[in-house]
Every structure is written in structure tokens, then in C-alpha cells.
Amino acid sequence: MTAILALENCSLTDTATASYNAIHSVPYSYTIANIQENETLTIEELLECLLIPSANDAAFILAEKVGGTLDNFYDMMNKKAKELGASNSHFDNPHGLDRKTHYTTAYDLALISSKALENDILAEICATKTHKVPANNISNERFFINKNKMLSSYDGAIGLKTGYTNAARSTLVSCAEKDGMKLICVVLRDENPYQYEDTIALFE
């Protein structure tokens, strides 16, 4: 949802500068791209950080860029969810980490993912296995590996997004295309690495 709103409200060449709050809002132990305060990146680079290694700091930077304030961005997320028919979702953070008032369902995630796949840029990023973000005046070059093992282990896999939190456990939203049929599969509250096995079984 964060990526969808970013692309609906910005161009890929627009830039965003990391604030102190964006850098320090990610709970300890969760994935970041090690973006530094006052570092400026393009929207495309932030989307690559967000979707390939699951960088939560990039999510906050995009939210502030798009919404102006985090609260306004959350309102935008919930409005978009309603528009897509994701009626059993409520967003109050840009990265999906655990909060009692932040929730969704497998069906709603499939609806949101279907919308994301309509955008060729998002689809391309989600299918990227490895990527380099070039160095700038603050940070060195960054090299990312996509955590989605489906991309290298399942014929026809074209994305989409892995996830893990203490409450949700291992989650996986996948898309695969075979024999002219494209399917989205959502697996929630699984145990690593069985989210991959279960996804493949569902696809088959």
C-alpha cells in the first residue's frame, strides 16, 4: 500500500530526504537499508529499498514524502483500502509491523497486491532478485538481495512480497504466471520456511 501511494503521488525521479523521525521510528531488530538522516534518495531508489530487502526506514521516508505527516499518510492508506474493497483492513503505520489497530486479511492483501501489479514499475521491482543502489554524498553503494525465495525456486514466480512480525509470523504474498493464467497467493501466520512450501502447494 505504501508503494502504491508513492507511485500515485510522486514521479520516480522525485526525491525525498530522510528525517530524524523516519530514521529512528523503526523498532530494533527489523530490517532497514541503513539510510542516514538528511540523506536524499529518489522515489525509485526508496521503492527498491522498500520492496527488495524490506527496508522499514524507506517506508517511513516515503510516508512523510507522500503524506506530509504520518497521520495524513495513514488516512490516505485507509481511504485507498476502502476504494479497493479491502474492508477488513486498517492501516496505522507504513511498514506493516505489529500494532493492535493495524490489521488486514489474506483476501484484502490479495486485492491490494492485484492493484500493485497493475503498475509495471512495482511489478518489475518486486520481481528483481538483486539490486544495487548507487553511492551518494552520504552513503556508500548498497547491494540488496530479494528475500522472496519463490523468485528462484518456482517456475513462473514474478513476485511479490515477504513479511515477518512476531504476531503475524512468516507471511508471503506471491504471484505466479503459467500457461496464460496469473494467480496471487497469500499465506499468513506460517512458520519459516513452510510459507514457501505451502504457497507452492496452493499454486499447484
Q: Given a cut of 90, is residue 191 above it in pLDDT?
A: yes
DSSP-assigned letter for residue 115: H
The mean pLDDT of 58-72, rounded to a whole number, is 97
**66-70, 136-140, 151-155: which has the minimum mean pLDDT?**
136-140
Structure confidence by residue, pLDDT tens digits, 106-138: 999 999 999 999 999 999 999 999 999 999 989
pLDDT at 27: 82
**Dihedral of the CA atoms 193, 197, 199, 202 (nearest 10)?**
-160
Look-up of cell digits 544495487: 132
The mean pLDDT of 91-95, rounded to a whole number, is 96
Tell me how far apart the alpha carbons of residues 134 and 91 are, in angstroms, rounded to a whole number.
32
Tell me how far apart the alpha carbons of residues 104 and 101 are, in angstroms, rounded to a whole number.
10
The mean pLDDT of 137-158, rounded to a whole number, is 95
Structure confidence by residue, pLDDT tens digits, 11-59: 999 999 999 999 998 887 899 999 999 999 999 999 999 999 999 999 9
Q: Is residue 19 within 8 Å of residue 1, measured between CB atoms?
A: no
pLDDT at 42: 97
Look-up of cell digits 499465506: 187
**For residue 190, what is its C-alpha cell?**
506460517
pLDDT at 137: 84
Spell out the residues 6+ positions from residue 41 whose beta carbon is closer than 8 angstroms to its own.
Answer: 15, 16, 18, 35, 49, 61, 133, 136
Average pLDDT over the chain, rounded to whole? Answer: 96
Tell me how far apart the alpha carbons of residues 123 and 143 are, in angstroms, rounded to a whole number.
20
Type of residue numbered 38: N
The mean pLDDT of 141-149, rounded to a whole number, is 95
